[in-house]
């Protein structure tokens, strides 16, 4: 207690020195707190970004000779058929969905079908009856389907296809108005077989096709008919069908690699028939500026701490040399070197307590102004992708349990500009992520103050220790000789 009292008396007596140490510690604490708060905000922004964007991986049928179930046959019409004896089934999907971290999935397949409805003609002439055919898109659920998730379409009436529904369909408002259809009406679809589906939902197109784009009839958004798996089975009789590609969405893209490894370790799935690919590039691109910012801030914090420690040590060393007489008196009074160093340490800690308290206010001010510039990073608001719509699902004759992916002869289709033989580009907005970014405030909290205390005490102990070495290593006789 005597050492603390002596430290207190020294601090109030040496006002000039105390103010100088206070300024040094205040500047150090202010910038350390600024760095810590921005670093915390950057971490929070990355977390919000992961939650907003998510990540996904796709399981697709391997259409190559490495797949023992892969088959390729001439269809006798100048084209060829690719098919697999092991498609992606609902059992496989359910097994994968048991993996922790997977939030939802989007399974879809598209089949060219004829219908008893009038359809909107495209502006690309096609051979044969392709001008009257449309896509029947088989989905596990429309709510998670990329067309609805991306905002291209929005369900405005009725229900989504979800769960155990049978022979249900979701059609566009334009198609419903053209054919005077409403919820509950039945429409007919024909592929290998004919089946009837009941309209349970109607969607409106929010992002229409480009005005002057070359679009075939079956690609027009107005003509897309979403059906359930039961309807797909009916279209091909009693033959088993499945999906060609399934996208699984995870809630944290940072865990994507680990989740994929868990999925690929499932022993009940013959992975020779499938391939697993990751799709988290959007998150990586968007998070890159924040990760760079975090690394930069960490480096700055270390530089600030080291520079502060050096400056504080130099100041204390100079003052320590001027206190040789005081040190000699303490030694002659029987006060040990540990007690003397404890007093020196207490002096700086007293000033530090006041400086750290004031740094809460200065740190908030500086952090807010710096963050306004550093955190205004442009995050891509959209990502573009395409659906693999140039693959038509069919069932190979003679294979009761085979799903067939038919690629027809190119002569059956006209020369279409690149990119027009697929579904419209998807635009996936991450406005939610942008909103979260705007809501992040760079403020200093209790945890930041606790971090500052640990860092500050470490710097002070190091500085006092270094500055005291030059005097404390002297013997009492040497100190007395310097005093004289």
At a CB cut-off of 8 Å and minimum separation 6, what does 288 contact?
A: none
Euclidean distance between CA atoms 354 and 352, whole angstroms: 5
Rg (CA), the chain: 35
Determine the Cα–Cα distance for residues 120 and 132; give it in Å rounded to an integer.
Answer: 9
pLDDT in tens, 420-463: 333 333 232 333 333 344 445 667 778 888 888 888 888 888 88
Read off the DSSP letter of residue 155. E
pLDDT single digits (tens) 244-273: 888 888 877 778 888 888 888 888 888 888
Helix axis angle for 15-53 and 281-321, nearest 10°, is: 170
- Is residue 57 within 8 A of residue 248, CB to CB? The reply is yes
pLDDT single digits (tens) 189-242: 998 889 999 999 999 999 988 878 888 888 999 999 999 888 888 888 766 677
The total number of residues written for the chain in this structure: 484
What is the tens place of the pLDDT at every residue in 305-353? 888 888 888 888 777 666 666 766 776 677 777 777 788 888 888 888 8
Listed by start position, the domains of the chain span 2-46+287-377+440-483, 55-279+385-427
Say which residue the tokens 């001439």 belong to. 74
State the number of CA atoms in the 13 A half-sphere of 158 facing the CB. Answer: 26
CA dist 223 → 93, 113, 131, 179, 387 (Å): 28, 11, 12, 12, 16
Using the predicted structure, report yes or no on whether residue 479 has a pLDDT greater than 70.
no
């Amino acid at each position: 207690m005597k050492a603390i009292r002596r430290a207190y008396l020294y601090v109030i007596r040496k006002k000039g020195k105390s103010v100088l140490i206070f300024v040094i510690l205040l500047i150090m604490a202010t910038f350390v707190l600024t760095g810590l708060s921005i670093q915390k905000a950057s971490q929070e922004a990355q977390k919000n970004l992961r939650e907003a964007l998510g990540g996904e991986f796709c399981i697709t049928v391997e259409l190559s000779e490495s797949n023992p179930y892969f088959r390729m046959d001439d269809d006798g019409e100048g084209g060829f058929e690719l098919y697999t004896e092991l498609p992606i089934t609902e059992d496989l999907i359910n097994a994968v969905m048991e993996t922790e971290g997977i939030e939802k999935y989007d399974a879809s397949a598209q089949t060219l079908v004829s219908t008893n409805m009038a359809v909107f003609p495209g502006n690309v002439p096609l051979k044969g009856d392709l001008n009257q055919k449309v896509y029947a898109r088989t989905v596990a659920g429309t709510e998670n389907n990329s067309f609805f998730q991306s905002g291209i379409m929005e369900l405005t009436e009725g229900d989504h296809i979800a769960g155990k529904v049978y022979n249900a369909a979701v059609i566009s408002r334009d198609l419903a108005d053209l054919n005077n259809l409403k919820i509950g009406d039945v429409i007919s679809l024909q592929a290998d077989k004919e089946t009837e589906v009941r309209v349970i939902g109607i969607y409106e197109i929010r992002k229409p096709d480009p005005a002057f784009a070359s679009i075939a009839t079956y690609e027009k958004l107005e003509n897309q008919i979403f059906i359930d798996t039961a309807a797909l089975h009916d279209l091909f009789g009693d033959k088993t069908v499945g999906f060609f590609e399934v996208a699984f969405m995870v809630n944290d893209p940072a865990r994507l690699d680990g989740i994929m490894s868990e999925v690929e370790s499932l022993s009940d799935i013959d992975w020779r028939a499938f391939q697993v690919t990751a799709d988290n590039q959007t998150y990586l691109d968007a998070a890159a500026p924040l990760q760079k910012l975090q690394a930069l801030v960490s480096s700055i914090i270390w530089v600030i701490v080291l520079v502060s420690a050096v400056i504080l040590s130099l100041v204390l060393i100079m003052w320590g040399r001027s206190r040789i007489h005081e040190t000699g008196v303490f030694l002659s009074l029987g006060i040990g070197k540990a007690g003397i160093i404890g007093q020196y340490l207490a002096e700086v800690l007293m000033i530090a307590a006041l400086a750290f308290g004031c740094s809460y206010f200065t740190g908030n001010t500086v952090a807010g102004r710096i963050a306004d510039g550093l955190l205004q990073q442009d995050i891509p608001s959209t990502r573009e992708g395409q659906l693999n719509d140039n693959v038509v699902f069919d069932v190979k004759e003679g294979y009761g349990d085979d799903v067939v992916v038919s690629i027809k002869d190119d002569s059956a289709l006209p020369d279409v500009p690149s990119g027009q033989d697929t579904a419209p580009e998807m635009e996936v907005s991450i406005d939610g992520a942008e909103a979260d970014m705007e809501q992040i405030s760079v403020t200093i909290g209790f945890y930041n103050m606790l971090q500052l205390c640990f860092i500050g005490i470490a710097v002070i102990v190091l500085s006092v220790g270094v500055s005291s070495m030059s005097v404390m290593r002297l013997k009492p006789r040497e100190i007395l000789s310097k005093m004289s």
